[in-house]
Amino acid sequence: MEERSLDKALDIYSTLITGQEVSRSNPDTRELYEEYYSNQAVFDITNRLMKKLNLNVYEYEDSIYITAGDGNRIFGYTNDDMKKMLGLRLNKELYMAYFIIYNALLAFYQDSSSYQVKEYVKQEDLLEQVTSYLATITADISVYSMDELAEDSFKTIALLWDELPVVTSDDKDKNRASRASRVGFIKLTFNFLVAQKLFVEVEERYYPTKRFKAIAENYFEEYKGRIYKVLGGETDA
């Protein structure tokens, strides 16, 4: 019995680690979902295994997902990994992408008790929101010289955003991902989110997936202020 439970727990792990969901509604993984919830031994072994590997297990609408825990260098991404995946060169460009992701999260969740009410977010919505949030910073940034700015500060990404045109002649159709414009930066960032199965793009609208909602609703309260603090915000904001 113990060997069978271990085998089932390993089946659940191997399914989740490949980016699949274990779900009651998925005929291919329904059996594993039922094993996870109906067999206490399978449940305990699975969660013990995930904890040892620094993986977080999230449950959402009869589905199970995993994501790398904080500082997980085996299953997570380092900043250098992220720059390669996004096609970025500089740290300040990566923090700009992080800030866009943070704003995408805020478009659906303001806090852990404020569940998503929007069905989707549009590219122009993110453009307006990011610009608005950074406008108050750029308005008061003239007293700083470039060599005094840390690459991971709000002020640096505010300057970067302020220097970028909204579009270039190459991305006016809003379909070109690039570092050369604000629209291109948003597209580049969302291409990554789509590849990670966090959003689905339909006619320039980005719909959050169940995976995104699982991560946001389970993870947001604990880590919602981390990006803000890393980028130079007040610790109690």
What mean pLDDT is predicted for residues 139-156?
Answer: 59
pTM higher than 0.85, yes or no? no
Which CATH number fits the domain that encloses residue 34?
1.10.10
Residue 204 domain-assigned (yes or no): yes
> Quick check: 176 pLDDT over 80?
no
Confidence at residue 60, expressed as pLDDT on a 0 to 100 scale? 87
Same domain assignment for residues 131 and 206? yes
Tens-place pLDDT, residues 105-131: 888 876 555 555 678 999 999 999 999
Find the domain containing 60 and state its range: 2-68
d(CA 34, CA 13): 14
234 pLDDT tier (thresholds 50, 70, 90): very low
Task: Give the chain's length.
Answer: 237
pLDDT band at 236 (very low <50, low <70, confident <90, very high): very low
Task: Establish if 73 belongs to a structural domain.
Answer: no
Mean pLDDT of 141-166: 70
Q: What is the pLDDT of residue 235?
A: 40
39 within some domain: yes
| pLDDT class of 25 with cuts at 50, 70, 90 | very high
The confidence band for 152, taking pLDDT boundaries of 50, 70 and 90, is low
* Least confident stretch, 43-52, 68-77, 112-121, 141-150: 141-150
Helix locations, the chain, DSSP H: 2-17, 30-38, 40-52, 79-86, 91-106, 123-138, 154-163, 182-195, 210-223, 226-230
